[in-house]
Amino acid sequence: MCEICNPQDSGEADEEPETGIIKQEQCSCLTLCTEGQINPDCPVCGAEDAGLSDCKGKAEKEDTKQPEDTGICKHHQAHDESCGYQPASEDGEGSPCTYDCRICPIEELIAALPEVGSITEENGSEVRAQLDQILALFAELTGEEQEQLDLSRCYELQEALDGPMPPTRRRRRMAPPRLRWR
């Protein structure tokens, strides 16, 4: 059977007026058309009211290669001599970053704290233990590192656990060097 005279796929056949031969439009896409990216030069996909199911292009392969873990966090923006990082090269495997961020673990603990409204008598001692752990880690930081932390959630939770304090005591308590949860 002749493919030109009897098209077998779902494309529309057009008859050429001069010869009377039926011409089959074929998708010319190399890449599969998507909702936001249609090949306007393709006679099938670029046609008015064309359906994406008519596209014969191939789907782009996603890059499944995982990026190399470089050990960068927002507190260690670039590698330097002190962190020991060496990228993998063709000649060797390189070496991982040995920077040990002391701020990120505290931020994670703060993010894991419950909302102020969810403190109950049953979980109050657990919340207090979380705050004590944060305070212990905070005390190990340098002044510069301490300034990078937002402890407002800790203060709110502490106030919810202890109740409102007189303004003079609160001011003194809010200063990081004298920070105490109890």
Q: Are 43 and 28 in contact (CB under 8 A)?
A: yes
pLDDT band of residue 76 (cuts 50, 70, 90) is: confident
Taking the complete model, does pTM exceed 0.75, yes or no? no
Mean pLDDT (whole number) for 125-136: 93
- pLDDT of the residue at 135: 93
If one compares 91 and 148, the residue with the highest pLDDT of the two is 148
Mean of all residue pLDDT scores within the chain: 76
- pLDDT of the residue at 127: 92
pLDDT band of residue 70 (cuts 50, 70, 90) is: low
Q: What would the pLDDT profile of 77-96 be if each residue is shown by its tens digit? A: 788 777 777 777 777 778 88
| Element spanning 111, H or E | helix 104-111
Who's near 126: CB < 8 A, 6+ residues apart? none
Q: DSSP string covering 121-173, please? A: TTTHHHHHHHHHHHHHHHHTS-HHHHTT---HHHHHHHHHHH----HHHHHHH
Q: DSSP string covering 13-40, please? A: EEE-TTT--EEE-----SB--BTTB--T
- pLDDT of the residue at 86: 78
